[in-house]
Amino acid sequence: MFDFLKAFVSPRRNTAPRIKALAGPKYRVVQGPDETQRERGIAERTGEDGVLDAYARGRLLDLTRNAVRNSSTMAAILRTMDLQVVGTKGGKAIFAFDDAHASASRALLDRFSQWTRNADFFDGLPFNLLLKILLKSALVGGDCVIVYDAGLIEDSGRLVLFESDEIGNTTPEAIAAHYGKGAVQSQGKVYSPNGRWIGTVVSRACRGETTFDPSKCYFLRRNPDEGKLDSLWLQPSNVWRPAQGRGVTPASPAIGTILDLEDLCGFELAAAKKNAQTFSWITSDREEEEAPQPPSAFGPGVDIGNMSDMELEALAAEEAQPAEQVVSLNHARSAGVVTEALPPGYKPELVDTKHPNERLQDFVRWLAGRSSAVFGLSEQFATLMPTGSDFRAQQLLTQPAFAEAQKWLEGICDWVLYRFVRREVRRGELLESDLPANWLRHVSWSWPSLDELDENAHQTAFGSKLRNLTGTLREELGTDWKERLVQYKAELEYCRQNGIPHPALETVCGAERSEGGKLDENTTTRE
């Protein structure tokens, strides 16, 4: 039985030498510009960690980060994910405890809100910004590690984020010492002899090294039988295969296109700049000939032996005169100015400007759309230039990508809040008995949503849904719908006490209606 398990889990380990690019499956972008021909299907002998080994993973990460730094397309894609997934209110906790636990809800909300202002261990970043960094780290690197510091460093109760290249292998001796005999490591993740994930090695001081120095590493352990909430750290990963250890950036199929797009735009811009500099070209219909040489008093055929002193002085004076100036065609060609006179046989020809190419914008948008599609985004969200009347359809196609990312972050937020509560209870700042049973189920998180293009039509349609019981206030108002209704009630009461008409109780024509929705008999429409 053990041999069977060993044979099953061994392909996922990266223990064999690196396979050459042409000998098996590969990520094309890390192979170089010559790998452009269609690949043949080849039977795999390894898992995904073997296809993208440590060397190829590092190169893919370098290419992706370079695209983030220098590609406007890649930067726009990540910026869009940043704004639409997290925005300014993403990661705000909303507690829906019953009335019996209202005081506990307020106390927990106050303490957690204070904590979110300084959630990061190293730089004191707020929780909202840390979620944006976490999202982009996973999208660029494929995975990362987030630790709730409850003793790893200082028991600060803050979050520590490790990027993809801060996860790596260390010495076999260190693995055996921290995880037990028989433990196997693969690109920073540690597995039991039966192939179960039991830990990860991270280091902020050994980034990019082949083997991490054990004295500079954190050896994170996990119990594979425990749930996510019980762990003091998480390793969110973008995986797409069973038994895949390390995540892969979703941008891997598009990085080559993104880099080619930047080259294309750069070449086109250079050509346009050259066109703007050049006024005309000098053309000639005569054969190239040598320029005439001025006569020399000491040239061949000149006999100076029989000349008098006066004749020699005359020749010397003639020699001292400036020679006929020859037009420099190279200078005239590159100067970009009007030439008033040209030698016989030469004529100016105006430059026919063909740059920027009039078809370039459509081609660039097409390439940008191909690149953004791997993130689940339509091209409008990559270029931030909506076109045509189908933008609403583009929104509907893209919305699931934002919702999926928000759901992914929501699981991390649940974990963070759970670890925060456990630490506060341990320190005596909160009483667990004050919290309702299964209190985490009564917590939701606020996230941004796409604005409606036609708000009036949307409100009319949603009103019909409410009346027909096909929609809910939560769907329209968000997870904080109860808070908004409480605020609405307070506003109505304030207006009533001060004799101020509330806009919600006015019809379009200005008549005032009661809170039940009927027109008040004692009111009239406004002039």
Interatomic CA distance for residues 115 and 137, integer angstroms: 22
Q: Residue 142 domain-assigned?
A: yes
Q: Residue 211 domain-assigned?
A: yes
pLDDT of residue 128: 97
Q: Residue 434 domain-assigned?
A: no
Interatomic CA distance for residues 138 and 134, integer angstroms: 6
Q: Residue 96 domain-assigned?
A: yes
Total number of domains constituting the chain: 1
Contact criterion met (CB below 8 Å) for 190 and 197: yes
Interatomic CA distance for residues 85 and 403, integer angstroms: 7
Interatomic CA distance for residues 219 and 63, integer angstroms: 28
Tokens of 120: 């990061």
Q: Residue 324 domain-assigned?
A: no
pLDDT of residue 239: 92
Contact criterion met (CB below 8 Å) for 138 and 234: no
Segments of 331-379 assigned E as strands = 346-350
pLDDT of residue 18: 39
Q: Which of 140, 129, 34, 150 is nearest to 82 (CA)?
A: 129
pLDDT of residue 466: 73
| Residue found by looking up tokens 């500099």 in the block | 277
Q: What does each C-alpha distance from 420 to 88, 127, 159, 415, 416 come to in angstroms?
A: 22, 13, 10, 9, 6
The range of the structural domain enclosing residue 169 comes to: 2-32+48-72+82-252
Alpha carbon 161 to its chain centroid, in Å, reads 17
Q: Which of 473, 472, 456 is nearest to 508 (CA)?
A: 456
Interatomic CA distance for residues 473 and 195, integer angstroms: 47
Interatomic CA distance for residues 130 and 232, integer angstroms: 17
Interatomic CA distance for residues 214 and 170, integer angstroms: 6
H-helix or E-strand spanning residue 199: strand 197-202
Number of C-alpha atoms within 13 angstroms, CB side, residue 220?
A: 28
Contact criterion met (CB below 8 Å) for 435 and 417: no
φ, ψ of residue 465 in degrees (nearest 5): -65, -40
The 3-state DSSP class for residue 413 equals: helix
Q: Residue 453 domain-assigned?
A: no
Each residue of 183-194: b (16+ CB within 10 Å) or e? bbbbbbbbbbee
Q: Helix, strand, coil proportions of the chain in percent (round to 5)?
A: 45, 10, 45
Question: Which class for 494: exposed (0-12), middle (13-18), buried (19 or more C-beta within 10 A)?
Answer: exposed
Interatomic CA distance for residues 429 and 67, integer angstroms: 46
H-helix or E-strand spanning residue 318: helix 309-320
Tens digit of each residue's pLDDT, the chain (527 residues):
334 333 333 334 444 333 344 456 777 777 766 555 556 667 778 888 888 999 999 999 999 999 999 999 999 999 999 999 999 989 999 888 887 888 888 889 899 999 999 999 999 999 999 999 999 999 999 999 999 999 888 999 999 999 999 999 999 999 999 999 999 999 999 999 999 999 999 999 999 899 999 999 999 999 999 989 999 999 999 999 988 999 999 999 999 899 888 888 888 888 888 777 766 666 666 665 554 555 554 455 556 666 666 766 776 666 665 554 444 555 544 445 555 556 676 776 666 667 777 788 888 888 888 899 999 998 888 887 776 667 778 888 899 999 999 999 999 999 999 999 999 999 998 888 889 888 999 899 999 987 765 566 666 766 777 777 777 777 666 666 777 777 777 778 888 888 887 777 665 454 555 555 444 444 444 33
DSSP per-residue codes, 31-88: T-TT--SPPPP----S-HHHHT-HHHHHHHHHHHHHHHHH-HHHHHHHHHHIIIIITT
pLDDT of residue 318: 64
Q: Residue 306 domain-assigned?
A: no
- Collect all residues with Cβ–Cβ distance below 8 Å to 155 and sequence separation of at least 6: 149
Q: Residue 177 domain-assigned?
A: yes
φ, ψ of residue 447 in degrees (nearest 5): -140, 155
Tokens of 110: 């106050």
